[in-house]
């Protein structure tokens, strides 16, 4: 605390990101990065954009990238907004669509960045408790609110909410914007992007950080009807007209266009996820039916906090959230098959050791 901080800086509660270790090399299963490299076409595109034209500002309209995304989702370029990460897109969406004094609804177990960013803009929130099995009770969102944010699949449970459920949330909330954060959608079922033409209050956000293996490039986007995209533009242009640099624009457009590479790596991760989930069940873990690039697991006999520390000693990082309802769970990102074999061997040993000693 400094006496120079504003009242705002004193009261906000910043988001704490997962660890990016330096020094010792860990098997990194803690921040849901893609274990495979980005498409070689992405690297080529970035290399050829690294030229003397960097002295010029990038295209503030980001036309090439928005065109590639619009093409992928069969939308028009006016229905696509891009930003420097999907967290940034969410940060623009809150002041664009929600008002202080009119609380937004969030699931009680969800991505903790939402309450953080809401706090920065003085937007109150209320939580809707997930059911005992961590699924989202749709009716919980049929009450008075100033807007809704739901990740689909949810984080950190990984559970996917089918589109008919999303549709009923939209039908019951026509007065306010409903944001569906699809950071993990490419590992799950169909995207709500196909509902955009029907629902003027739907904003879908996505990221290049997970399924497109570009967490280091910082690119995210939003899909919605033209008026919503214009609302995001208004906020963006008050803060920074050029949120995406020339290298990010070139790399992300190439990633969006290389469908074959994307489909191959995504399928591999889903396959590994199912194999890892099956093995974890065999050794006694309770595990949600995650459709994301991570699993969310709990052992009835071995506390999650102990597993977190012991895995770390063995050179494996996973994520733990010390929060109500989930404080005996670990979130484990899906790595390569080789990494997951090391993880499975380590966790099997830890669980077997604990059960013997107790």
Nearer to ligand PLP, 83 or 346 (CB): 83
H-state helical runs in the chain: 7-11, 40-49, 63-73, 86-97, 113-120, 163-171, 226-239, 246-257, 259-282, 304-313, 337-357
173: contact with ligand PLP by CB under 6 A: no
Taking the C-alpha atoms of residue 60 and residue 20, their distance in angstroms, rounded to an integer, is 31
Q: Are 214 and 251 within 8 A, CB to CB?
A: yes
User: What token pair was written down for 98?
Assistant: 């929600």
Tell me how far apart the alpha carbons of residues 58 and 242 are, in angstroms, rounded to a whole number.
7
x/- map, 244-273, ligand PLP, by CB under 6 A: ------------------------------
Residue from the set 87, 152, 293, 295 that interacts with ligand PLP by CB under 6 A = 87
**What mask of x and - would describe binding to ligand PLP in positions 19 to 48, judged by CB under 6 A?**
-------------x----------------
Q: Look-up: residue for tokens 């080789």?
A: 338
- Integer Cα distance of 73 and 67 in angstroms: 10
**∠ CA(66), CA(67), CA(69), 5° rounding?**
65
| 111 part of the interface to ligand PLP, by CB under 6 A | yes
Q: Which of residues 56-85 bind ligand PLP (CB under 6 A)?
A: 85
Name the residue nearer to ligand PLP (CB basis): 181 or 258.
181
| Least distance from ligand PLP to the Cβ atom of residue 205, Å | 7
Cα–Cα distances in angstroms (integers) from residue 103 to residues 110, 165, 166, in the given order: 17, 22, 20
Pairing, β 125-128 against β 27-28: unpaired
155 binds ligand PLP (CB under 6 A): yes
Nearer to ligand PLP (CB atom), residue 95 or residue 153: 153
Can you list the positions of beta strands (E) in 225-343?
286-287, 294-298, 316-317, 319-320, 330-333
Choose between 11 and 20: whose C-beta lies nearer to ligand PLP.
20
Nearest to 87 by CA among 259, 225, 209: 209
CB closer to ligand PLP out of 266 and 346: 266
CB 355 → ligand PLP: shortest distance, Å? Answer: 33
Per-residue binding letters, 183-222, with ligand PLP (x by CB under 6 A): x-----------------------x-x-----x----x--
Which of 45, 222 has the CB closer to ligand PLP? 222
Q: Which is nearer to ligand PLP, 32 or 39 (CB)?
A: 32
Burial class of residue 141 (count of CB atoms within 10 Å of its CB; 0-12, 13-18, 19+): buried
Contact between 296 and ligand PLP by CB under 6 A: the answer reads no
Binding site for ligand PLP (CB under 6 A): 32, 85-87, 111, 151, 155, 181, 183, 207, 209, 215, 220
């Amino acid at each position: 605390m400094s006496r120079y901080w504003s009242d705002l800086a004193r009261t906000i509660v910043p988001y704490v990101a997962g660890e990016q270790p330096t020094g010792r090399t860990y098997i990194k299963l803690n921040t849901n990065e893609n274990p495979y490299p980005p498409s070689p076409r992405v690297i080529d595109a970035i290399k050829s954009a690294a030229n003397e034209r960097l002295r010029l500002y990038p295209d503030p309209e980001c036309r090439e990238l928005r065109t590639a995304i619009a093409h992928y989702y069969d939308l028009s370029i006016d229905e696509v907004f891009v930003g420097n990460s999907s967290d940034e897109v969410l940060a623009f969406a809150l002041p664009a669509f929600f008002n202080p004094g009119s609380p937004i609804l969030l699931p009680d177990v969800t991505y903790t960045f939402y309450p953080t960013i809401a706090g920065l803009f003085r937007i109150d929130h209320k939580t809707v408790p997930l059911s005992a099995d961590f699924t989202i009770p749709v009716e919980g969102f049929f009450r008075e609110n100033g807007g809704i944010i739901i990740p689909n699949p949810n984080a950190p449970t990984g559970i996917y909410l089918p589109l008919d459920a999303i549709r009923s949330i939209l039908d019951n909330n026509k007065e306010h914007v409903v944001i569906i954060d699809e950071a993990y959608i490419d590992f799950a079922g169909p995207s709500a992007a196909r509902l955009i033409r029907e629902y003027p209050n739907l904003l879908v956000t996505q990221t290049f950080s997970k399924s497109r293996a570009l967490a280091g490039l910082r690119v995210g986007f939003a899909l919605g009807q033209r008026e919503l995209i214009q609302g995001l533009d208004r906020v963006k242009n008050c803060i920074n007209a050029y949120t995406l640099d020339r290298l990010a624009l070139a790399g992300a457009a190439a990633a969006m266009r290389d469908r074959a590479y994307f489909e191959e790596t995504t399928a591999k991760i889903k396959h590994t996820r199912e194999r890892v989930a099956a093995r974890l069940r065999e050794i006694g873990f309770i595990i949600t039916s995650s459709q994301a690039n991570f699993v969310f697991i709990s052992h009835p006999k071995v506390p999650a906090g102990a597993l977190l520390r012991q895995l770390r000693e063995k050179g494996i990082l996973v994520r733990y959230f010390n929060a109500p309802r989930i404080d005996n769970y670990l979130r484990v990102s899906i790595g390569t098959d080789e990494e997951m074999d090391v993880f499975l061997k380590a966790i099997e040993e830890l669980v077997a050791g604990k059960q013997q000693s107790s």
